[in-house]
Each structure stands twice: as C-alpha cells, then as structure tokens.
Structure 1
Amino acid sequence: MKSLCIIPCGKKKIWDKQADVGPVSAREAYIGTFHHLCETYADHFKLDWVVLSAKHGFLLPKDIVPENYDVTFNQKSNQIVTGDFLANQVKNKHLDVFPRIVVLTGRKYKPFISAAFSLPNPEIVYPLEGCKGIGHMQQRLKTAVANDTPIHSV
C-alpha cells in the first residue's frame, strides 16, 4: 500500500546560514536536525513525502519556498494556513490518492492534518505519538533507518 509521509518544516532554514540564497525548493529550504531525520526516514522507506508548513501548507519536495519566515502552528497569527486551505491543497496536489498517511510530526499538527484529510478518509498513523520529546523522536527515526525497521505500519 502506497503511503504519503508528512514531515514538519522546522524553524531552521537555509537562509539562517546563507541569507542571500533566494528562493529554493522545499527539499533544500529546511535544514534542522529533526526535519532532516524525517526526510531521511521517508526516503529510506521509499515513502512519498510532503512538508507541512504553517505558512505555506503542504509543500512537495520540488515546490519553491520563496523566502525565510518564522510562522508556527503554536502561535496566533493570520499567516497560519487554515484547515480549508490545506484541504484544497490535498485535492489540488493530488495528495488524496494515498490510502495511508504517515505523520512524523508533533501533536500540534494533528488538528490541521485531520482537517486537511477529512474526506476521503485515509488511514492516518502517527508513529511518533507517545514519544517523550524531540530527542526521543529523533532516536526512534535514527534507529528505524539504521536497523531498516520502519516505525509506521507497512
């Protein structure tokens, strides 16, 4: 069964190291450790993946991120994408063809993912749920790749 993996964007971005780099693909934009581990996990287990950004919504690896930003799902801001916006992206980017969604994010993303994938209703799994913080999440991802043992149901 083909799965879509949703990975978080992260605060650390390429512009933090190279301020004048200009627009880049989503694959290049996010450079934080947790994001990198999630991307490595998805690639290792041959999962199609998208980044979930509070500002841009779902970004395919080749989608362009125009510039640096600092918007998170934790804050109150009119720059945060809505559930309706995400649901439209699911349809327009053909993310609704996947019968299973593997979500490698923290719990703050859960309401947005639920709103985005309300219809049709794919199976949504959160294999990092129950982890006791970012360090535990990172260790689970590293171990899964090192041992070639997925943490999501296959």
Structure 2
Amino acid sequence: MPTVALVACVKSKRDRPMPAGRLYNSTWFQKARVYARERCDSWFILSAKHGVLAPTDEVAPYEETLNNFSAQERQEWASSVLEELGEVLSPEDEVVILAGLKYREYLTGPLEDLVARVSIPMEGLGIGEQLQFLNQRNSEQQVEAE
C-alpha cells in the first residue's frame, strides 16, 4: 500500500522564492519533512494559500494561515484540496496527515472515503510533544535539501 504524507505549511518561511519543500523553515516543518521522506513513498504540503504543493513546486514567501479563516472558508479550502488530492491519490493509498486540527478537520472524513487508510500519528499532541515524537522517529541524518 503506497503511503502519502500531507504536511501542513508553517508561518516561518525563507525570504525568497524556492521549492516548497525548502521554503518553510521552522524546526517542526524540517522534522516533519524528514519524517515524511523517510517513512512515506511521497509527500505533499498543505498550503493555506496554494492548496496542495509538491515539494518541488516553486513558491514565493506568503503570509496566509488557516488559523485566520472562518469555518466556511476552511471548508471551501478543504474542498479545493480534496479535488487536487483526487488527482494524485489512489484508492489503495494510505495517507499520513502531519497537520493541526484546522488543516485536517474537513479533510479527514472525505479522505477516509477516498483512500484505504488515513492516519494522524501526532493527533492530540502539543507542539513540544510533536517535536519529541518526530525526534524519536527520524534518523540521525537530517536531510536539508530536496
């Protein structure tokens, strides 16, 4: 069963356009990227502004977060994301979501209807616990570039 990771974007970004997999530079994102690359067959970024980004998609820095969206705006965002994911996911895939509640709340149920399995390995963990989870599961080799 192919495994696809969905990693949430973060506020902290580099100051110039670059591939999405390298644009977001918070410690959490870097560790989530390593986790996704080591444990999944492919991965994508859930972007508040762009929807679904491949790690190689060239993106300019931006200031947008789902935390500022209304529930209806988050539902509309999720519908658009699900449409994009429908083009890259297969019914036999497992999707691993590395994202907070606002990024996954309207995605999880529909994804469960679209793919074989959906998992949220850090569900219920605070940010410190998430970093500890990622540290424990990532190899010592922290890969910096895509």
Range class of TM-score, shorter chain: 0.7 to 0.9
Taking the aligned partners of 1:60 and 1:38, their CA distance within structure 2 comes to 15
What is the SS of the residue equivalent to 2:96?
strand
Partner of 1:82: 77
Pick one of 40, 49, 66 that aligns with 1:73. Answer: 66
Q: TM-score, normalised by structure 2?
A: 0.81
> 1:121: how far off?
3.9
Structure 2 unpaired stretches of 5+ = 141-146
**For 1:97-128, what per-residue CA distance to the aligned partner results, in whole angstroms no more than 9, with x for missing partners?**
55210111122222242366365243110000
Aligned residues: 138
CA RMSD of aligned residues (A): 2.4
Partner of 1:40: 34
Structure 1 unpaired stretches of 5+ = 16-20, 148-154
> 1:64: how far off?
1.8
Partner of 1:31: 25
**For 1:20-63, what per-residue CA distance to the aligned partner results, in whole angstroms no more than 9, with x for missing partners?**
x3x31111211111110000111222431101111111111111
Taking the aligned partners of 1:32 and 1:143, their CA distance within structure 2 comes to 18
Using the aligned pairs only, state the percent identity: 28
**For 1:50-86, what per-residue CA distance to the aligned partner results, in whole angstroms no more than 9, with x for missing partners?**
0111111111111121x22111111137986622211
Q: TM-score, normalised by structure 1?
A: 0.77
Partner of 2:130: 137
Higher relative contact order (CA 8 A, sep 6+): 2
- Mean alpha-carbon deviation: is it higher for 52-61 or for 80-89? 80-89
